[in-house]
């Protein structure tokens, strides 16, 4: 991995075709939210299937936490669609059969010349593609668990979002009685 791809650095804003063949940039997929980005070996790898099955099972929680997800794989169009469908993913998969990302980041996996994949990584990116954390997934146990990923984006939320809910916001004068939000009173039985 290039030396500048480290926590605090900025991840490149690659433009690649998605699973519907529409070109898109990572920054467009991310918007103003944190982004969980997987750099995947491809559809042929059972480790990728297992990781993506776990991510797909957690996707509804990721989505309501205002966090985006994307996968970049070295697969062509058809393989990418099959990979995405086989794990039940609802997020965007980007196709990189030309290995632009692999070459640019210096993450060619030399142990598999037949498939020529990239060394798999999972990154958690703050808004603006700022790198929060990186996991090297060459070995399956190097990949983050869903619980690890659940904890990471909490430090990535934009500063203008309340982090601890209405009580913290209320103490700061943001929410509460007379300030636009009616808080229910709990009655004792």
Question: Cα–Cα distance between 20 and 31 in angstroms, integer?
Answer: 19
**End-to-end distance of the chain based on CA atoms, in angstroms?**
61
Yes or no: say if 39 and 136 are a contact pair by the CB < 8 Å rule. Answer: no
Report pTM: 0.81
User: Which of 132, 61, 126, 50 is CA-nearest to residue 90?
Assistant: 61
The pLDDT score that the predictor gives to residue 158 is: 59
The pLDDT score that the predictor gives to residue 168 is: 53
- Mean pLDDT value across residues 42-55: 90
pLDDT in tens, 100-130: 999 999 999 888 899 899 999 999 999 999 9
Put the strands of the sheet holding 121-126 in their side by side order.
92-95, 68-73, 35-40, 121-126, 130-136
Yes or no: say if 10 and 2 are a contact pair by the CB < 8 Å rule. Answer: no
- Mean pLDDT value across residues 2-14: 95
Q: At 122, list the tokens.
A: 């999972």
The pLDDT score that the predictor gives to residue 189 is: 43
Q: Give the C-alpha distances (Å, rounded to integers) separating 182 from 62, 167, 178, 179, 185.
A: 28, 13, 8, 8, 9
- The domains of the chain are located at 15-171
Query: With bands split at pLDDT 50, 70 and 90, how would you rate the model's confidence at 34?
Result: very high
pLDDT at 72 over 90: yes
For the 15-171 domain, the top CATH level (class) is: alpha beta
């Amino acid at each position: 991995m290039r030396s500048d791809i480290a926590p605090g650095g900025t991840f490149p804003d690659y433009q690649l075709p998605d699973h519907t063949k529409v070109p898109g940039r990572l920054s467009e997929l991310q918007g103003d939210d944190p982004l969980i980005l997987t750099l995947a070996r491809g559809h042929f790898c059972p480790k990728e299937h297992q990781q993506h099955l776990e991510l797909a099972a957690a996707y509804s929680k990721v989505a309501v936490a205002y966090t985006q997800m994307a996968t970049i794989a070295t697969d062509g169009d058809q393989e990418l669609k099959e990979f995405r469908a086989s794990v039940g993913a609802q997020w965007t998969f980007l196709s990189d059969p030309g290995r632009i990302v692999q070459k640019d980041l210096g993450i060619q996996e030399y142990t598999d010349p037949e498939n020529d994949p990239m060394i798999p990584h999972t990154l958690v990116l703050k808004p603006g593609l700022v790198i929060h954390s990186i996991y090297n997934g060459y070995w399956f146990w190097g990949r983050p668990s869903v619980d690890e990923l659940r904890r990471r984006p909490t430090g990535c939320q934009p500063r203008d979002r309340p982090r601890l809910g209405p009580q913290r916001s209320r103490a700061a004068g943001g929410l509460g009685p007379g300030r636009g939000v009616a808080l229910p009173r709990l009655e004792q039985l």
